Amino acid sequence: MTDVKKPDLEQLVPYETRDEIELILTCSKGSITKDNRETIANLLKKELNWDYIYRQAERHGLIPLLYYNLKNTAPELVPEDILQRMNEIYLPSMKRSMIQTRELLQVIQLGKDHEIPVIPYKGAPLSQQIYGDIGLRISSDIDIIVRQQDVIRAKALLISQGYIPQISLTPEQDKKFIRVRCEYDLYHPRRTTIDIHWQFIPWYYLAPFDETDIWSGLKVLSLEGQDIFALSTEMLIIALCIHGAKHQWKELRQICDIAGIIASEKDIDWELILKIAREKRIERIISLGLRLMEELMKTDLPLFVSEVIRRDRVVQHLVSSSIDTIFTEEQNHGGAIQEVLYWVSVRECLWDKLRVISLLVFEPNDDDWAYISLPGILSPLYYIIRPIRLAFEYGVTG
């Protein structure tokens, strides 16, 4: 077998910003090698559009990482005002990460005290895994995973600690919410926001994972001197690919996360990842995430994996359109219609495409409950109200 041919960066990004994008990508790697530092130093000697670099790094949540690697490679070649602006984001990000880490460890211990297993998701632990530093990945909140049967108790436990749910639900709506959604958002007036997850994505995008899939093979991480449980490497890669698809790969940071995990882990069971992707019918979603990572971050994958993720011709189109979206400066959010079209494109099975359309259009959720409050006996009317509401919001108002 021969190596899989991969496109050069010049084939993927606009010519006029190629050097700037290469600098951002090289500075965003999980581990900076000697060759990477030479590349960074050579790029810094060119005439660069620093306003573009700063805007892109800020939009993609990469300023702490960019600042750290520029500062430790050739700071004398970076405009002083750019380093200063980056430092003004880097220092608060470090402080916020330390606060979030302390709070996360307290929440894990609180769960343990009440027999509720809690594992972290993304955030400071992921930054620690990839970069060896909790502060190099910006996190706006704390994400945790609990078992679905523990969601109500975990929510009540956080409320007892002063956290407030972002939305108010009746007990009946609570049950429905847990079935169709994947996370609860709670905020604390003086601390931070915590998202309680029990799935990686709402059920109308793809069928829920079994808890044994999520909770099997947990690994032990050291965070601030404490050992905690975390997702297995294989499940984390799958979850990050799903997370990227959920947000339509609009942030480069999502791709950097996957590249960083793969670069930092030596014994990844790729057969297991591909097996789960086949069983869950998410091969296109996984292939898209890995292709974006492989082509932008130049992270090597085993040859058989590279071959598998190139079998679906639709993925190449999705890669090209995703890269265009990542590096364009004008973001088109598109709303519900674009969301439906996107998810139809990333599902390969006709049944899954129809399922996405029907559930996104007709299945009521908390947005509909907030739109109009109905007594329980009239709750079936939400199945009529939802398509009317969507038609009004995205049809009448455009």
pLDDT in tens, the chain (398 residues): 445 666 656 556 666 788 999 999 999 998 889 999 999 999 999 999 999 999 999 999 999 999 999 999 999 999 999 999 999 999 999 999 999 999 999 999 999 999 999 999 999 999 999 998 898 998 889 999 999 999 999 999 999 999 999 888 888 888 888 988 899 999 999 889 999 999 999 888 888 899 899 998 999 999 988 999 999 999 999 999 999 999 999 999 999 999 999 998 889 999 999 999 999 999 999 999 999 999 999 888 999 999 999 999 999 999 999 998 888 866 665 666 788 889 999 999 898 899 888 888 888 877 888 788 888 788 888 888 888 888 877 665 44
Model-wide pTM > 0.75: yes
Question: Do 221 and 98 lie in a common domain?
Answer: yes
Last residue of a domain, one of 231, 249, 276: 231
Count of structural domains within the chain: 2
Last residue of a domain, one of 182, 208, 231: 231
Residue 250 falls within a domain, yes or no? no
Q: What b-and-e string marks burial along 138-156, b requiring 16 or more CB atoms within 10 Å of the CB?
A: bbeebbbbbbeebbbebbe
Between CA 260 and CA 253 the distance in angstroms is: 10
Residue 75 falls within a domain, yes or no? no
Question: Do 226 and 341 lie in a common domain?
Answer: no
Between CA 31 and CA 217 the distance in angstroms is: 25
Residue 185 falls within a domain, yes or no? yes
Question: Do 105 and 225 lie in a common domain?
Answer: yes
Residue 80 falls within a domain, yes or no? no
Residue 141 falls within a domain, yes or no? yes
Sheet holding 183-187, edge to edge: 119-120, 142-145, 193-197, 183-187, 164-165
Question: Do 225 and 97 lie in a common domain?
Answer: yes
Question: Do 99 and 224 lie in a common domain?
Answer: yes
Residue 381 falls within a domain, yes or no? yes
Give the residue numbers spanning the domain of 172: 91-231
Return the CATH number at 109. Answer: 3.30.460.40
Residue 40 falls within a domain, yes or no? no
Last residue of a domain, one of 203, 231, 259: 231
Residue 323 falls within a domain, yes or no? no
